[in-house]
Amino acid sequence: MQSHLSNEISAILANKASADESMGIKSKFEKDEQRANRFSKQLDDLFFDFSKSHIDQELVDTYLKYADEISLVAARKDFLAGEKINNTEERSVLHTLLRDSSNQGIATKEPSVLQEAKLAQQGFAEQFARIEQALDQRSKPIKDIIHVGIGGSSLGTQLLFEALQDANEHRQIHFIGNIDAHQLMNVFAKCDVQTTLVIGVSKTFTTAETLKNLDSICQWFKDNGVTDPLSNFFGVTANPEQASHYGLPDENVVTFPEWVGGRYSVWSSVSLSAALVLGKDRFDEFLIGAASMDKHFYQADLKDNVCFQAAILDHYYANYMDVGSKAIFAYDFRFRSLVDYLQQLETESNGKDRTRDGEPCEQKTSMVVWGGVGTDVQHSVFQMLHQGTSLIPSEFILVKTPDHDLTEHHNELLANGIAQTAALLEGQDLSTVEAIHGDEGLSDAAKKAKVFSGDRPSLTILLERLTPTALGALLAFYEHRVFFGGVLTNINSFDQMGVELGKRLAKQVRPLIDNKRATGTEFDPSTELLLSKLI
């Protein structure tokens, strides 16, 4: 099994990139009248249009050859079969079992994990029903839920809630991830302890930021006359003993399997708060949608696999077209947390410079992921997308049918999204500018300033409607795209060693700030100077 690009394939891709930079994307449409249909695909309620990118049959064929050399199909099966593909931590990656415990019919290395996955699903259903019943019996109904978690213990749940909540929902969720107390104080001002439930989420229930925030919320309850605040607290964790040690009643501890990774935990009881608002049925539909994408990911030939096509474009742009970032724009307010979620998913998974065997990676891995929502960003960053000196592939996510009756608003939103993809491709030359503005008396400089190069790549994903199943499928698509990207660059997408050093140093810095002491430390001069400013 080869784990890196052969010189032959690398040379083909380098030559292709040179040709693509010269010829552009528009020429691909001129050569192939069926290009739009050839490089688009309908998967249930999601439509993927890759045709405005640099994808073509030569690119797909080259990466199919590379996939054969690195045994990518076998790696895909190893993932779903429960092999320990997280080799640095000697762990299997099993989160897909939470949405499909039948595992696409694939036998697992450890047959017991299928049973464990089924029990996890059943256990969450039972715990959920018990909690709902308890909430219904309260003298005062719960109006607010404070969800306390950080990173993967919060981002997915927040996206799920915001994307699917009803505008008239009688319960609201307030997400606390930051240790910054300004966020806490803002939430306290909106909530009443008598009608507030707190859900703390931590895999180990030792996460410092989460526990500190829970402590402060507990004190807020006490300050407002609640003598037994922890009876209003639920813990979601893979370490129930630690949650009990914190003081939570056993009946208030909700579990999930230890093999559920943080940024892949939205499919588990980590999303308890969202499920309590949206309803368990809708949460189950969310899982069904993800399972449908799992099926495509595993069963579709690579040449027709949207997850693979997106991953090879990422690899091609980063390694052969000198692309350092990609932008994601969701033309739907309900997706306002999507970029944050995808940013963590990709950059924490594939932002690595070490191969699976610990050696320096010779390829470029994750691009910077950024973006925004709707027409807001058109009036800021789109200037750079159209006329900036860096090539930035863009992704547009649109929803065909809204969940409101203000049709004119939504049609304008869709028109803007579609128009931007067309404008990025088409551009505008000087002769077009002169034809449009010829009688306006513009200076030559003004005319030339209106020239757009075009041939800027984009991917469009159109949802029929923002339903739980469509959302589940969309997020699973991005997960599997990240997986393929990790295999293409021979890195471990499922550890996150890069976050450890800063946490360890923070434990050294904190006592210095608390004790107003910065002398005698062993930090670099800049850090010592900053510490001196804080004491």
- Written as one string, the DSSP assignment of 7-55 is HHHHHHHHHHHHHHHHHTTHHHHHH-TTHHHHTEEEETTEEEE-TTSS-
Report the distance separating Cα 155 and Cα 177, nearest Å: 9
Phi, psi of 22 (to 5 degrees): -80, -45
Q: Taking the alpha carbons of 439, 443, 445, 449 in that order, is the dihedral positive or negative?
A: negative
Q: What is the largest CA-CA distance in the chain?
A: 77
Helix/strand/coil for 163 = helix
Report the distance separating Cα 49 and Cα 395, nearest Å: 10
Report the distance separating Cα 392 and Cα 389, nearest Å: 9
Phi, psi of 381 (to 5 degrees): -75, -15
Please list the alpha-helical segments (H only) found in 372-427: 382-387, 407-426
**Amino acid identity, position 22:** S
Report the distance separating Cα 129 and Cα 280, nearest Å: 9
Q: Which of 209, 346, 348, 479 is catalytic?
A: 348
**Amino acid identity, position 299:** Q
**Amino acid identity, position 238:** A
Q: Taking the alpha carbons of 485, 160, 93, 103 in that order, is the dihedral positive or negative?
A: negative
Report the distance separating Cα 152 and Cα 256, nearest Å: 14
Residues in the chain: 535
Q: Which residue has 């033309």 as its token pair?
A: 331
Q: Where are any strands of DSSP class E within 275-401?
A: 325-330, 368-373, 394-401
Q: Is 449 exposed, middle or buried (0-12, 13-18, 19+ CB in 10 A)?
A: exposed
Report angle CA 256, 262, 268 to the nearest 5 degrees.
35
C-beta neighbour count of 130 within 10 angstroms: 12
Q: Which of 379, 507, 516, 533 is catalytic?
A: 379
**For the chain, the helix, strand and coil percentages under 3-state DSSP, each to the nearest 5:** 55, 10, 30
Q: Which of 118, 222, 245, 503 is catalytic?
A: 503
Radius of gyration of the chain (CA): 25
Q: Is 503 a catalytic residue?
A: yes
Strands 394-401 and 458-465: parallel
Q: Where are any strands of DSSP class E within 407-516?
A: 458-465
Report the distance separating Cα 441 and Cα 290, nearest Å: 56
**Cβ partners under 8 Å of residue 231, min gap 6:** 249, 252
C-beta neighbour count of 222 within 10 angstroms: 13
Q: Is 83 a catalytic residue?
A: no
Residues 395 and 481: beta-carbon distance below 8 Å: no
Give catalytic residue positions. 348, 379, 503
